[in-house]
């Protein structure tokens, strides 16, 4: 009873993430990849993403501080970030990246900085949400994940 | 994209795609993990790699250990396109590019560089499941057929895939027109590719070194401006090779050349003489030919050679023109000018030659010895010989040209100018230092050679040769920079051209040193491509050739010992070389303007 309750919670949580535009179908792709060999695959990937994206963000932050006029560099950093975001289907984050890219194109430092703050915020929000989700999933247990991930 | 078809194919040819060895290159660890998982789910054997340079190293080290490469476009250490280019030319493996960036221009660039596919991130598993087709396409037409397959049937199925492929070729022809390559051949070529959807014809041939050599020979024989796939095919006369094969190879070849040329243009902005394909420029053609002839001889280094050759060439052909003149004047002084001895004295000469030698050595040289040599040289003001070379072109120009120039060249004038220009020499020298970073060479080896040949000839000649060396060194630069050891190739093509400008007397002077070099150093060589170049040297009469010969020799020497290994180890070379190459133009400028 409790299990199914937890499961339902997790499912709806995930559904919310989709509905609110945080995630896109790439996330399902990841779930499909999860199997007996790597039962925690999605979570592993997601935590890897957050680890690496934090590094990328630090890069961008530094670049913004040190040489904000080097838009090429900023853009290429953000491109990396965007590519990374696409890996877990973090669609909101991705669209913020695109905003940033545009500001870069305009050579708008202020815009870039503002846009980057948004990216950072979205990154933080997503991280929290996904952490909560995976915590729930851990409680649900491996056996039930398949059903859960089949949406 | 006919996904159903794909899955049915997969089942049918289960034995084959199973275990496909895939190398994935991406700087993004998250994607690397995902791709690895996906590919494993496809029952492929996956190797992942976070750095392009490492990937290249892996590929070179384990040449036949991969079937296909999937690479990200944006990587910090090396542009994915660059990697693609290397892999395409060196390993002839199919490469799939991927990127979040789906801009048409990016995709086009990927295709231009020879990507067999371009995937957009997020990459889907069904796309990855399907990648074996690129390997298979290639395999079908390799001599060794895959036995357990009903290939005909598979080809049929594959054919439908080609629509996809054709589209890309369509793009490609679009690119052509964008680039304003209006020569008939390329059109013919693209038409062909486009209109011909037969799987058989579309297949990739394994372009072995020999085959490529034949190809290049044919290209050169026809003349670069007149080449067409059909002509090449006829000339090559290789059974089983189709016009289509040749066409696509030609295309690849051209793109490759043009890219290098572009790079070169960037590096030497003042010398735009050569347009991209520059078909009318004979030296270029020659360069090609030679560039490939060498690879045959040096098995290990061949690929690298091919890569570099062209850049070097571009520079060369430029220089040759100038040098041509300089030589002419040179000889004049040589044969008729007793004054020479005054200007140069043996010790100076020595150091000069040293410099020359050192510089012409390629990547493996010790920095320190070089520096020593250089420093030695400067105090001695041995820059004189160098200056001579620099000087002459001017004289010649004034005198109105090549042979006439030298015959009429007023020696007193030259001398004065030499002196005048003495102070310009140091920059030259310092430049060479830059280039030769971390090379490892026997100075001892080289020195004797030079001294010897000096003995063989009159005193006067030796300074001259030395000067030549130093000049060629600089030329060598370009080559080194462009990436390594290609230099040698140039000369081999030259016999055809050339000889006109050359003067008999100087011939001896020039040739014999190089011969000696050859004999001495060449003894340990695996092969003697230099022999060819000797003649060419004679024929060419360009200053660079001497340097080139020297350079080549050393390369080969090295290659017998630790060269090969180093070679591949130093992947970052390209990058650095690019930077180094910038050294060249200024030098050029100070020489000939």
* Nearest alpha carbon to residue B266 among B484, B579, B575, B574: B579
Mention every residue, 6+ apart, whose C-beta is less than 8 A from residue B419: none
Which of B37, B74, B99 is facing A41, going by the closest CB pair? B37
Instruction: Say if the Cβ atoms of B30 and A45 lie within 8 Å.
Output: yes
Mention every residue, 6+ apart, whose C-beta is less than 8 A from residue B577: B480, B481, B482, B483, B484
3-class secondary-structure state, position B70: strand
User: A18-21 long-range contacts, Cβ below 8 Å, gap at least 24?
Assistant: A20/A92, A21/A91, A21/A92
Chain A interface includes B30 (CB < 8 A): yes
The residue with greater pLDDT, B247 or A136, is A136
Kindly tell me if the per-residue pLDDT of A73 is higher than 80: yes
CA B318 to chain centre: 16
pLDDT, tens digit, for every residue of B424-469?
A: 333 333 333 333 333 333 333 333 333 333 333 333 333 333 333 3
**Interface list for B 41-80 with A (CB within 8 A):** 41, 72, 74, 76
* Nearest alpha carbon to residue B447 among B512, B498, B517: B517
* Nearest alpha carbon to residue B392 among B413, B374, B376: B413
Which of A38, A41, A52 is facing B28, going by the closest CB pair? A52
Question: What pLDDT score was predicted for residue B495?
Answer: 38
Burial of B119 (0-12, 13-18, 19+ CB in 10 A): buried
**Interface list for B 96-135 with A (CB within 8 A):** 99-101, 121-122, 124-125
The tokens for B296 are 């045959």
Mention every residue, 6+ apart, whose C-beta is less than 8 A from residue B6: B126, B129, B130
Beta bridge partners of B48: B24
Question: What pLDDT score was predicted for residue B263?
Answer: 60
Kindly tell me if the per-residue pLDDT of A127 is higher than 60: yes
Tens-digit pLDDT string for chain B (593 aa): 444 444 444 444 456 788 999 999 999 999 999 999 999 999 999 999 999 999 999 999 987 889 999 999 988 888 889 899 888 888 889 999 999 988 899 899 998 888 999 999 999 999 999 999 999 888 886 644 444 444 444 444 444 444 444 444 434 343 333 333 334 343 334 434 343 334 443 445 667 667 877 888 888 888 777 778 888 888 888 877 888 788 877 877 777 777 666 665 555 443 333 333 333 333 333 333 333 333 333 333 333 333 333 333 333 333 333 333 333 333 333 333 333 333 333 333 333 333 333 333 333 333 333 333 333 333 333 333 333 333 333 333 333 333 333 333 334 343 333 333 333 333 333 333 333 333 333 333 333 333 333 333 333 333 333 333 333 333 333 333 333 333 334 333 333 333 333 333 333 333 333 333 333 333 333 334 433 433 333 333 333 333 333 343 333 333 333 333 333 333 333 434 443 433 343 333 333 33
For A55, which residue in chain B has the nearest alpha carbon? Answer: B28
DSSP state of B561: I
Instruction: Say if the Cβ atoms of A32 and B125 lie within 8 Å.
Output: yes
Between CA A116 and CA B302 the distance in angstroms is 48
Chain B interface includes A4 (CB < 8 A): no
pLDDT, tens digit, for every residue of B486-510?
A: 333 433 333 333 333 333 333 333 3
State the average pLDDT for chain B: 53
Question: DSSP letter string over B566-581?
Answer: HHHH-TTHHHHHHHHH
Question: What pLDDT score was predicted for residue B347?
Answer: 38
Q: How many residues does chain B have?
A: 593
Question: DSSP letter string over B81-106?
Answer: HHHHHHIIIII---EEEEES---HHH
pLDDT, tens digit, for every residue of B322-376?
A: 333 333 333 333 333 333 333 333 333 333 333 333 333 333 333 333 333 333 3
Query: B10 and B129 in contact (C-beta within 8 Å)?
Result: yes
Beta bridge partners of B69: B23, B95
3-class secondary-structure state, position B53: helix
The residue with greater pLDDT, B168 or A117, is A117
**Interface list for A 34-63 with B (CB within 8 A):** 35, 38, 41, 44-45, 48-49, 52
Query: B422 and B384 in contact (C-beta within 8 Å)?
Result: yes
Which of B31, B76, B122 is facing A89, going by the closest CB pair? B122
Query: B151 and B141 in contact (C-beta within 8 Å)?
Result: no
Instruction: Say if the Cβ atoms of A80 and B125 lie within 8 Å.
Output: no
Q: How many CB atoms lie within 10 A of CB B380?
A: 16
In chain A, the domains with their CATH numbers are: 6-16+24-140 (1.20.120.160)
Question: What pLDDT score was predicted for residue A120?
Answer: 95
pLDDT, tens digit, for every residue of A77-105?
A: 999 999 999 999 999 999 999 999 999 99
For B30, which residue in chain A has the nearest alpha carbon? Answer: A49
Interface test with chain B among A59, A84, A87, A102, by most B beta carbons within 10 Å: A87
Beta sheet of B117-120, edge-to-edge order: B45-49, B21-25, B68-72, B95-99, B117-120
Q: Are strands B68-72 and B21-25 parallel, antiparallel or unpaired?
A: parallel
Between CA A22 and CA A13 the distance in angstroms is 11
Between CA B448 and CA B361 the distance in angstroms is 16
Query: B84 and B71 in contact (C-beta within 8 Å)?
Result: yes
**Chain B residues closer than 8 Å to A93 by CB:** none
Question: What pLDDT score was predicted for residue B85?
Answer: 87
Query: B124 and B98 in contact (C-beta within 8 Å)?
Result: no
Between CA B436 and CA B446 the distance in angstroms is 15
The tokens for A4 are 């199914």
Question: What pLDDT score was predicted for residue B16?
Answer: 77
CA distances from B116 to B25, B111, B112, B133, B225 (A): 15, 7, 10, 10, 28
Question: What pLDDT score was predicted for residue B205?
Answer: 64
The tokens for A150 are 């089949």
Question: What pLDDT score was predicted for residue B372?
Answer: 37
CA distance A54 to chain B (A): 12
CA distances from A81 to A89, A97, A102, A114, A125 (A): 12, 7, 15, 16, 16
- What pTM does this model have? 0.44
Helices (H) and strands (E) in chain B, counts: 31, 5
């Amino acid at each position: 009873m409790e299990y199914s309750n937890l499961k339902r919670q997790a499912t709806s949580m995930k559904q919310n993430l989709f509905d609110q535009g945080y995630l896109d179908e790439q996330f399902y792709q990841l779930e499909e990849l999860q199997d007996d060999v790597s039962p925690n695959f999605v979570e592993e990937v997601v935590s890897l993403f957050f680890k690496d994206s934090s590094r990328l963000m630090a890069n961008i932050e530094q670049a913004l501080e040190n040489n904000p006029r080097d838009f090429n560099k900023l853009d290429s950093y953000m491109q990396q970030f965007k590519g990374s975001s696409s890996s877990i289907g973090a669609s909101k984050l991705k669209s913020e990246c695109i905003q940033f890219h545009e500001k870069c194109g305009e050579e708008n430092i202020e815009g870039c900085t503002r846009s980057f703050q948004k990216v950072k915020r979205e990154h933080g929000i997503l991280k929290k949400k996904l952490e909560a989700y995976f915590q729930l999933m851990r409680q649900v247990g491996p056996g039930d994940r398949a059903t859960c991930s089949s949406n | 994209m006919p996904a159903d078809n794909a899955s049915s194919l997969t089942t049918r040819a289960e034995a084959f795609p199973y275990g496909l060895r895939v190398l994935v290159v991406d700087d993004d660890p998250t994607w690397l993990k995902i791709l690895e998982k996906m590919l494993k789910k496809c029952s492929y054997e996956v190797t992942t790699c976070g750095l392009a340079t490492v990937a290249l190293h892996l590929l070179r080290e384990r040449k036949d250990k991969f079937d296909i490469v999937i690479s990200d476009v944006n990587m910090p250490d090396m542009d994915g396109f660059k990697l693609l280019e290397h892999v395409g030319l060196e390993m002839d493996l199919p490469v799939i590019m991927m990127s979040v960036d789906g801009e048409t221009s990016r995709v086009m660039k990927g295709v231009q560089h020879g990507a067999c596919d371009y995937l957009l991130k997020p990459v889907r598993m069904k796309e990855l499941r399907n990648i074996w087709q690129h390997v298979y396409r290639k395999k079908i037409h390799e001599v060794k057929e895959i036995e357990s397959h009903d290939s005909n049937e598979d080809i049929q199925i594959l054919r439908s895939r080609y629509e996809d492929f054709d589209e890309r070729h369509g793009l490609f022809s679009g690119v052509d027109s964008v680039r304003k390559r209006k020569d008939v051949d390329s059109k013919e070529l693209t038409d062909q590719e486009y209109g011909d959807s037969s799987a058989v014809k579309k297949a990739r041939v394994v372009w072995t070194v020999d085959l490529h050599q034949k190809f290049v020979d044919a290209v050169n024989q026809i003349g670069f401006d007149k080449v067409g796939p059909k002509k090449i095919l006829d000339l090559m006369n290789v059974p089983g090779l189709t016009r289509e094969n040749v066409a696509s190879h030609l295309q690849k070849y051209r793109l490759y050349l043009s890219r290098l040329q572009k790079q070169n243009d960037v590096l030497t902005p003042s010398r735009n003489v050569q347009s991209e394909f520059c078909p009318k420029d004979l030296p270029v053609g020659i360069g090609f030919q030679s560039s490939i002839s060498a690879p045959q001889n040096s098995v290990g280094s061949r690929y690298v050679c091919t890569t570099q050759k062209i850049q070097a060439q571009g520079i060369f052909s430029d220089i040759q023109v100038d040098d041509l003149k300089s030589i002419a004047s040179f000889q004049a002084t040589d044969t008729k000018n007793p004054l020479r001895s005054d200007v140069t004295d043996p010790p100076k000469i020595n150091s000069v030659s040293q410099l020359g030698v050192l510089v012409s050595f390629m990547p493996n040289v010790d920095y320190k010895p070089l520096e020593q040599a250089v420093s030695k040289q400067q105090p001695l003001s041995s820059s004189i010989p160098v200056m001579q070379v620099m000087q002459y072109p001017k004289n010649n120009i004034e005198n109105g040209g090549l042979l006439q120039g030298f015959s009429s060249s007023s020696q007193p004038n030259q001398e004065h100018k030499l002196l005048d220009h003495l102070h310009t020499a140091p920059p030259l020298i310092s430049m060479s230092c830059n280039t030769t970073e971390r090379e490892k060479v026997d100075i001892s080896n080289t020195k004797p050679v030079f001294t010897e040949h000096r003995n063989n000839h009159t005193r006067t000649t030796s300074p001259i040769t030395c000067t030549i060396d130093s000049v060629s060194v600089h030329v060598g630069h370009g080559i080194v920079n462009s990436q390594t050891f290609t230099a040698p190739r140039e000369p081999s093509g030259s016999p055809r051209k050339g000889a006109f400008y050359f003067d008999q007397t100087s011939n001896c002077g020039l040739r014999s040193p190089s011969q000696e070099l050859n004999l001495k150093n060449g003894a340990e060589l695996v092969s003697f491509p230099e022999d060819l170049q000797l003649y060419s040297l004679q024929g060419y009469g360009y200053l660079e050739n001497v340097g080139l010969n020297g350079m080549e020799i050393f390369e080969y020497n090295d290659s017998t010992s630790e060269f090969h290994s180093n070679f591949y180890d130093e992947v970052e070379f390209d990058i650095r070389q690019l930077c180094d190459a910038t050294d060249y133009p200024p030098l050029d400028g100070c020489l000939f303007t």
